[in-house]
A and B are shown apart, each in its own frame.
Chain A
Amino acid sequence: MIFSEFRFLVFFAVVMAVHWVLRANFARKFWLLAASYWFYGVWDWRFLFLIFASTVIDYFAAHRLKRARVADDQKAARRWLIVSLVANLGILGFFKYYNFFAESAASMLHWFGLPVGDVTLGIVLPVGISFFTFQTMSYSIDVYRGKLEPVRNFFDFALFVSFFPQLVAGPIVRAIDFLPQLDAQRRFADIKFQRACGQFLSGFIKKACIADGVAPFVDQVFADPSGFTATAIWIGTCLYAVQIYCDFSGYSDMAIACARMLGFELRTNFDFPYLSKNITDFWRRWHISLSSWLRDYLYIALGGNRGTKAFVFRNLMLTMLLGGLWHGAGWNFVVWGAIHGASLIVHKEWTRMTAHRVPSVPLLPGLLTLMVVLLAWIFFRATTFEDAWTMGVAFLTLQSPGEAQIDGKMAYLLIPLLVVHWLASRRVAQYLEGRVPSLMISCTYGVILALALPFVPTDSRPFIYFQF
């Protein structure tokens, strides 16, 4: 059940209506918890046990951890933190990375002349596992660091882990942001419902019209890049950048809007990343909830900016490599992380060396950043290393590996993207609020939806980030 599907809209309408009809806060929370488990169970009911187990482990580990801290027993506190981390990383590692590491190890042994049989298992990746394990891990770490008190009510914690708008593909919510909201008595009149509808609509258009609309062209190029001209490869790469941005930020917009309609505020996840001035800026604007998570719980834990230059570079590279691996169990994601890690190092060093000494050229840093990001997307999306290499070479040298072109008429699909992007970057919706009669805005939303629906492909695709 994905957000752009008709059945999700029906599901959400029912959940929201019942949520606001219920008066007592505990009843609302219980209802949302039940709805969240139902939502997750629709994907595969067996994974309900997994998310429940993860919830139970972290709930109890956090309480034990707190007790150890109160007793000033640092060793016990550390032990309980390790229990939580091992449990979370163990679940993540088994479901997501077992096959990858087993295959890689087998290949290496084969290379050394020690062939082994099939070592992979038929493991199905539970949807959203990377997201909810990171959430529960941040909770345990925050309790360990003394930033957060463990939550008393188990159901509150279970709702934090499984809250359906952000369960399967983020934004990665911090307990410190979310748990206090559970205690607040919310009123429908207090929420900015119309704004939330606008945000949902914007996300829907990005996902269903644009991302799904350009997907066939992207698939065409990435399926056999050696048959295409350099121009087609450039177009295909640019379209993939559009697709992944619209897909993921569209999902985030819808998730944030759904949460807002239920009275919860989630953090912004994207802030016009392709308008970044440099690669560091890009990571402040792309998948913000993940990049800030990696910064706070990995980069800083590794030592952050402290220590020698080599040490800092090592931290940066490790963070990005692990960030790449977080996206998927594959060497292509590691390369993607390495490209970004190397770019961040180069940018850091360049900034230090040229601070206030080299006049900045307008647009050039942004274009260079975009080039790096596009090149990295090739490795992110390509199905094999050979394909990625072929595309990367064609992308950089403009040498065509083949003759085929792609239909350029699909460019009209980018028009709504540009319009939505431009309107959003200008904060037009916020500007119009209060200046234009609100009934007019509702009417406009109806018109926009009617114009958008014909551009929704009949075969809906799951969100790209669901696989992570």
Chain B
Amino acid sequence: MKPLLHALVAIVSLLAVSSLIRSLDRWGYYEFSASKMQHLEEVGERYDTLFLGSSRVYRGIKPSVFDAVVAANGGESRSFNVAIPGAMGHEMSGVLHDLFATLPQLPKRIVIEVVHWEPRIKEANLMSDRVLLWHSWRETVSALQSLQLHMPSPTQLSTREKLTLAWQHVEHFVRRTFRVGRGPTMARAWWEGPDPKRSERALARNRGWNGYNMKKARYQERAKVFQDKYAEFYFQVAVRQARNPVPAHTHELNWSAMEDQIAFVREHGVELVYLIAPAARPRIADDELARLRSMADVLDYSDPETCPELFDPSVRFDWLHLNALGAEVFSRRLAHDLQNLSARPPSRRK
């Protein structure tokens, strides 16, 4: 019994001090999004609408334009773009929970992009900040559970692969819990003191929106490649992609996790709207879209024939993203649609 008592004491003290460290490093692993989170923690009550998503939202929704359109239509809105480039379902869910635990006052509405709930971790992203970020207990369990889901071909994983993946998730969880790797950054922050301009920077960036800076050579190059090579047939390809019937791939949406997410948001009295961003890629299967609509409000911009202005090459940066002009167009359209949606009674929204 004595060794067990010693082990217990050591583990309790380890967990207690780690918990203290976590409280000192609230936005550990958030990288550049830490400034957004800190800003929302400080003045989050200013905002009534939050946009959460991947780079398609990060680059594509401009809160200032959105708010202006709402105001022009006689409404009132203060929105904030809290999207993270490259974010997948688990990552967004992690951010969502962190947000709700942080905000001094919850927003009226949250718009979440529908993305894949991919339980696999890319080799290049292993142990990276962005993956460590979302490995809370809840999300780790959710990712582990999703490994048990049916995975149709071609993404079928072998038992060995699932075990490896499960191990990776557990390891990420342990590292996140003990803030592995955060020491130097924390020490530097302590050494240099808080950055007084941190929150203002987030505000200056159009309330979380960040369009492609076309002064940068690499962005110019990417945009030029798109315009030169693909622009002329982009619309047609997008139409084909949208019409391309894809088999239901439930693992990519992780329905059980989404149900939890919907319940979580509604429990807090916040209106939830799912968003399918405008991009030329295989469209969500019709039966899946119908299922999603039965669970929550969905604004679907993935069909070029219903929203051609978002697939015009002049508003595109590349296949998946809008440029700054496109962000304005999309933000205007989104503002109209959200206002219309809110005006309808819940029973007539489906």
Contacts and interface: CB of A to CB of B under 8 A. Distances in A.
Contacts of B179: 453-454
B183 interface: yes
A454 B9 contact: no
Contacts, number: 85
Contact of B186 (A194, A413, A454): A454
A447 B171 contact: no
A7 B14 contact: no
Interface stretch (A45-53, A158-166, A380-388, A436-444): A436-444
Contacts of A7: 167, 171
Interface stretch (A219-227, A242-250, A301-309, A456-464): A456-464
Contacts of B71: none
A450 B18 contact: yes
B86 to A, nearest CB: 18
A435 interface: no
Contact of B13 (A443, A455, A456): A443
Nearest to A443: B13
A450 B167 contact: no
A446 B9 contact: yes
A39 to B, nearest CB: 17
Most chain A C-beta atoms within 10 Å of own C-beta, residue among B17, B167, B171:
B17
A443 B181 contact: no
A439 B1 CA distance: 13
Interface in B1-60: 3, 5-7, 9-18, 21, 25
Nearest to B186: A454
Contact of B14 (A6, A439, A450): A450
Interface string B113-133: 000000000000001110010
A449 B181 CA distance: 13
A454 B13 contact: no
29 contacts: A7-B167, A193-B3, A194-B6, A197-B10, A409-B188, A409-B191, A412-B187, A412-B191, A442-B6, A445-B13, A446-B9, A446-B13, A446-B14, A446-B15, A447-B13, A447-B17, A450-B15, A450-B16, A450-B17, A450-B21, A453-B179, A454-B21, A454-B178, A454-B180, A455-B183, A455-B184, A457-B181, A458-B127, A458-B180
Contacts of B7: 442
Given A439-B6, A450-B18, A458 B175 contact: yes
Interface of B: 3, 5-7, 9-18, 21, 25, 127-129, 132, 167, 171, 174-175, 178-184, 186-188, 191
Most chain A C-beta atoms within 10 Å of own C-beta, residue among B132, B175, B186, B187:
B187
B10 A446 contact: yes
Nearest to A9: B174
A445 B10 CA distance: 6
Interface string A411-454: 01100000000000000000000000011001111110111011
Given A447-B14, A458-B180, 9 more contacts: A7-B167, A193-B3, A197-B10, A412-B191, A444-B13, A451-B21, A454-B25, A454-B183, A458-B132
A213 interface: yes
Nearest to B177: A453
Q: How large, as a class, is the contact surface on chain A?
A: 20 to 34
A450 B183 contact: no
B77 to A, nearest CB: 40
B9 A442 contact: yes
Contacts of B18: 450, 453
Nearest to B13: A446
Given A213-B184, A453-B179, A454-B179, A6 B171 contact: yes
Contact of A453 (B13, B128, B178, B188): B178
A450 B180 CA distance: 9
Contacts of B12: 443, 446
A6 B127 CA distance: 13
A126 B209 CA distance: 52
A249 to B, nearest CB: 21
A213 B167 CA distance: 25
A353 to B, nearest CB: 50
The 8 closest A-B pairs by CB, nearest first: A446-B13, A454-B183, A450-B17, A455-B183, A458-B181, A446-B14, A446-B10, A453-B178
A443 B9 contact: yes
B19 to A, nearest CB: 9
Contacts of B15: 446, 450
A459 B128 CA distance: 9
Contact of B9 (A6, A188, A413, A439): A439
A454 B181 contact: yes
Given A409-B188, A439-B5, A446 B181 contact: no
